[in-house]
Chain A
Amino acid sequence: MSLTDLMSMAKPNMESRGKLLLRLGGRELVNCFQCTKCTSGCTALKLLELKPHEIVKLVNLGFVDELPSSDIIWTCATCLKCVQRCPQKASPYHVIMALRNVAVEREAKVPDAYMKAVSQILETGLAETCQKITTREMKVLDREGLKLPKINSPRESFQSAFLKALEEK
């Protein structure tokens, strides 16, 4: 759902805001004075209309319950320009990441690829599966064909340890 649709009936919730601030630890987003340096350099602004300064403002005003349901938090390209250039260390990237975590916890709509990556890690340790590459001369090659060493798999205890880590909030 778009942010405008979600915001039309929204009410601030200071308790959710407090919880999000706690999650962010030392991130000083309350100091944001809306200079919009983050938005002016944002990789995702041009194509996907992500406006990081708006997200920070909404969180500061207490509109935290609406954001995790919005598609907008999944448009961040994680280029980190906003973290780098913010004069107030408000760090919109970290705010967006925290909101994504809340979206997962609330079972809001999360792009499939993220959950797939997690189950892939549980299964093999890696977030991706090994691919065969077709060369420009149309030869199909894999790691073995390229004489690359076998990938070292994790020890058996990894799966249960990672599952425990995923239960933490």
Chain B
Amino acid sequence: MKITVFWGCRIQTSQYAYEMSVREVLPKLDVEIVDLPENVCCGDPVKSVNAFAATYLGARILALANSAGLNDLLVPCNRCHFALSEARRTLQTRPETMEKVTALLKEEGLEYDPKLKIWHTVDFLHDHIGLERVRGAVRKQLKKLRLASHVGCQIIRYTDLGRPEDAENPKKLDSLIGALGAESIEYAEKLDCCGAALMYSHTDSALSLAGSKIKALQGLAVDGLVVSCPDCGLMFDSKQKQAETTVGEKLDLPVLYYTQVLGLAMRLKKEKLGLQLNQSPVDKLLSKIPS
């Protein structure tokens, strides 16, 4: 099948490992990626400034996806997925906003059509591709790995909006980890936030949230933390060293995107999965996978 992908800002400007690994693993599952003709903000950071402008940006992405002509849109970022879903809800429930947005889009020759199916990496792999096919793509069972999953906040809440995962007991990412032969542990801090949104205004608090979760996981002797959102990747992987000072402990937990772990199980080349880009000590985890 073919699917349009909206990458958003964070993935395309710094979390390259996520983009590389998605681009690498999906074709192996017979999915052809079509990039949006324009990559523009989803509207999330604008929500705090002007709700209408944020909805407009979300609607513009959906309109661009329509122009690509496919019925499915993959949005690998939690925050973008939430922004687009909420923009769609606002347009459905507020005719006045819908009218203004439609007029603005028309000026640019764009047309909004709500029928598009919006996927996130996690539910796309779990529900659309299916666990069977994921299992079938595994060339090397990751049997010895004990991993923790962090699915993030905005992909599971709020249920009224229709989210890809259960709000209080998300399981899909764990099942996907299990499909690779690895163990996905249950832990008390599973639903704790990475803090990324606070990087805009309260950096230390943001780092402290990320650091506390990593510190807790280190006490549980896990081999790594698996994420599926570029904001969570930023906080737990890229900012892990910086977070050390906020929790007063050495932090050295391997953090990887699920698509990177999937790629490892598919025996894909590490450089193609962006594994050289992770800032956390992922080599510790890699050494536990027999070659």
Contact = CB atoms under 8 A, between A and B. Distances in A.
B133 interface: no
A75 B273 CA distance: 35
Contacts of A33: none
Interface in A113-169: 113-115, 117-118, 121, 125-131, 133, 135-137, 139, 141, 143, 146, 148-149, 151-155, 157-158, 161-162, 164-166, 168-169
A11 B158 CA distance: 34
Contacts, number: 189
Contact of B157 (A84, A158, A169): A84
B39 A125 contact: yes
Nearest to B23: A148
Given A77-B195, A78-B197, A117-B45, A126 B13 contact: yes
A138 B162 CA distance: 43
B153 A111 contact: no
B169 to A, nearest CB: 12
Contacts of A100: 47-49
B41 A127 contact: yes
A162 to B, nearest CB: 7
Given A25-B94, A118-B49, A126 B12 contact: yes
A72 to B, nearest CB: 11
A9 interface: no
Given A77-B209, A141-B277, A151-B39, A97 B57 contact: no
Name the interface size band of chain A: 35 or more
A136 B283 contact: yes
A115 B53 CA distance: 13
Interface of A: 23, 25-26, 43-44, 47-48, 74-81, 83-84, 89, 97-98, 100-101, 104, 110-111, 113-115, 117-118, 121, 125-131, 133, 135-137, 139, 141, 143, 146, 148-149, 151-155, 157-158, 161-162, 164-166, 168-169
- 3 tightest Cβ-Cβ pairs between the two chains A and B: A80-B157, A113-B200, A165-B56
